[in-house]
Amino acid sequence: MDAQQAGGAVLFDVDGTLMDSVYLHTVAWWEAFRQKGHQVPMASIHRSIGMGSDHLLDRLLGDGRDHDEDDGLRAAHDALYAQYWSRLTPLKGAAELLRACAERGWAVVLASSASGREFDVMKKALDADDAIDASTKADDVDASKPSPDLVQVALQRAGVAADRAVFVGDAVWDAQAAQRAGVRCLGVLSGGISRQELLDAGAEQVYDGPDDLLTRLDDSALGDPNRL
């Protein structure tokens, strides 16, 4: 059920922000590319995680590639990544951060580029349903991050305007999507992207990870929704 006209909303990316999964995606994409005859460096793949798969494939293989193999690449990635599902682990402090935000009066919304069963598995692993008001995922939008669509749908489900929300993400693409939607953004380093890159992309504050943000919550943009 969508949150109803909350005083303020905090929108959380999931992979790399709440879940320790970015490098698992990197390995899964690397193997998927290898199976289809593409040699793509892991470093390049890692820096593209957080985009929707359409943007990721454009970035890594070029828009002039044979698009007929895209579905096969996605299927290979999904099958390889699914092998990790039973071992997916939230980052330290992730569930506690969601609950702390809810206790302060924020509507908590998950805004993930994952889709379908993959999203459901991560949400179950987070084990924080009591703090989550709404969620949106890749299936709900036509254009993925860094397009603002996912952030805009999350705002609709939270029942708030852009100036009454804060987005938390680990990737440059999260910050860019939030900026394009007119939403403030906080960054975390738990996805492996540097502090300066996140700041340059539009994050106003950057934390080591969800546990660090939780520890410093009172002094952050999430300290009190009435301060927005």
pLDDT tens digits, one per residue of 70-99: 999 999 999 999 999 999 999 999 999 999
69 band by pLDDT with thresholds 50, 70 and 90? very high
Structure tokens at 161: 């305007």
Cα separation, 201 vs 97, in Å, equals 23
- Is the model's pLDDT at 149 over the cut of 60? yes
Task: Grade residue 6 by pLDDT with cuts at 50, 70 and 90.
Answer: low
Q: How far is CA 16 from the centre of its chain?
A: 7
pLDDT at 2 over 70: no
Lowest mean pLDDT among 4-8, 83-87, 154-158, 159-163: 4-8
Cα separation, 72 vs 11, whole angstroms: 31
Helix (H) or strand (E) run with residue 11 in it: strand 9-12
Q: pTM higher than 0.85, yes or no? A: yes
Q: State how beta strands 205-207 and 165-169 pair.
A: unpaired
Domains, the chain = 9-21+89-227 (3.40.50.1000), 22-83 (1.10.150)
